[in-house]
């Protein structure tokens, strides 16, 4: 991982999904293994496919190299052998314009992820703004769409309505629009259905996303790149913007990558198959710590 330099010299925070990415938090691949955490990973396990730890580590190194190639500083959580899914660093915290928010993962093998993430923020001198206390919520259900607008998924499988409303209330207290969106539970997180990849550009599984959500994005001026249900279940929506018309998207996200390239965007496409088979893609694997603030 790259050296972040003195933390005090940096201004941490993010007010969008597409400001130029400068620092990102990743999880460790050393302790990752497939568990029956979702319909996606259950299908993988039932297929008889074998998990390859060495391949997973190699793919994670490829992801790190893609970030560093793009000029992004990478930071990593300390591995904890009791937390095999902490590699999906999106879920244990969320970055806002006012600092980080500690999430409350729901499943027993993820519940303890709050520990290493609090330790990381404290050791790095990165401000924590809030800690969710009202129920379970995971960062994959939080999309900081653009300045003044946040989307929070609520499928009850991972994010419970009480926690979603607690987080929404904090954003509303800052004058933001916070939309709490019920989603089909089998999709786990809202970032399996929606990703915001550039100003006024979103990838959406329109056949599974609630119609009101699709209309909300279109009313806000977003062009929608439509992704099939089959591709969405393969994490085909789950990409992350680097800003400046650059995207990291898994090589297996064929539909999305073709559409992005047709628009002239640069796509970095590492092989993340060990992770997508386990239920998480490029967006799931990292939590932005610092983006250029597009709201001024």
pLDDT tens digits for range 58-69: 999 999 999 999
Asked if residue 183 has pLDDT above 50, the reply is yes
pLDDT tens figures, 235-255: 999 999 999 999 999 999 999
Q: What is the mean pLDDT of the chain?
A: 95
What would the two tokens of residue 206 be? 């329109």
Instruction: Judge whether 47 and 74 are in contact, CB under 8 Å.
Output: no
CA geometry: angle 283, 140, 129, nearest 5 deg: 110
258 assigned to some structural domain:
yes
Instruction: Give the residue among 137, 207, 208 at the shortest CA–CA distance from 178.
Output: 137
Give first-to-last CA distance, the chain, whole Å. 30
287 assigned to some structural domain:
yes
pLDDT tens figures, 139-166: 999 999 999 999 999 999 999 999 999 9
1 assigned to some structural domain:
no
DSSP annotation of 48 reads: T
Question: How many separate domains does the chain show?
Answer: 1
Q: What is the pTM of this model?
A: 0.94
pLDDT average, residue stretch 177-183: 97
pLDDT band at 184 (very low <50, low <70, confident <90, very high): very high
| CATH number, domain containing residue 86 | 3.75.10.10
Instruction: Give the residue among 111, 167, 90 at the shortest CA–CA distance from 134.
Output: 167
The pLDDT value recorded for residue 1 is: 55
Q: Name the residue range of residue 165's domain.
A: 7-291
62 assigned to some structural domain:
yes
94 assigned to some structural domain:
yes
The pLDDT value recorded for residue 185 is: 87
172 assigned to some structural domain:
yes
């Amino acid at each position: 991982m790259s050296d972040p330099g003195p933390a005090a010299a940096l201004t941490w925070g993010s007010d969008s999904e597409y400001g130029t990415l400068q620092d990102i938090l990743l999880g460790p691949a050393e302790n990752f293994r497939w568990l029956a955490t979702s319909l996606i990973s259950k299908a993988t396990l039932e297929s008889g496919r074998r998990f390859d730890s060495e391949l997973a580590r190699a793919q994670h190194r490829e992801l790190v190299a893609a970030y560093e190639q793009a000029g992004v500083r990478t930071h990593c959580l300390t591995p904890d052998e009791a937390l095999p899914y902490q590699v999906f660093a999106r879920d244990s915290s969320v970055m806002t314009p006012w600092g980080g928010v500690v999430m409350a993962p729901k499943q027993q093998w993820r519940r303890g992820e709050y520990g290493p993430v609090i330790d990381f923020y404290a050791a790095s001198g990165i401000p924590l703004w809030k800690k969710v206390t009202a129920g379970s919520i995971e960062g994959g259900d939080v999309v900081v769409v653009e300045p003044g607008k946040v989307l929070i998924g609520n499928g009850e499988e991972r994010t419970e309505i009480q926690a979603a409303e607690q987080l929404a209330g904090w954003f509303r207290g800052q004058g933001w629009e916070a939309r709490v969106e019920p989603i089909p539970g089998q999709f786990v997180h809202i970032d399996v259905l929606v990703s915001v990849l550039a100003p006024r550009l979103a990838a959406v599984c329109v056949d599974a996303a609630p119609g009101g959500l699709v209309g909300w994005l279109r009313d806000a001026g977003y062009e929608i790149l439509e992704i099939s249900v089959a591709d969405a279940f393969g994490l085909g929506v789950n990409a992350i913007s680097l800003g400046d018309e650059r995207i990291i998207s898994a090589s297996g996200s064929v539909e999305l990558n073709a559409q992005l390239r047709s628009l002239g965007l640069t796509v970095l496409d590492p092989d993340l198959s060990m992770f997508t088979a386990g239920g998480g893609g490029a967006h799931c694997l990292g939590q932005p710590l610092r983006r250029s603030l597009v709201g001024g």
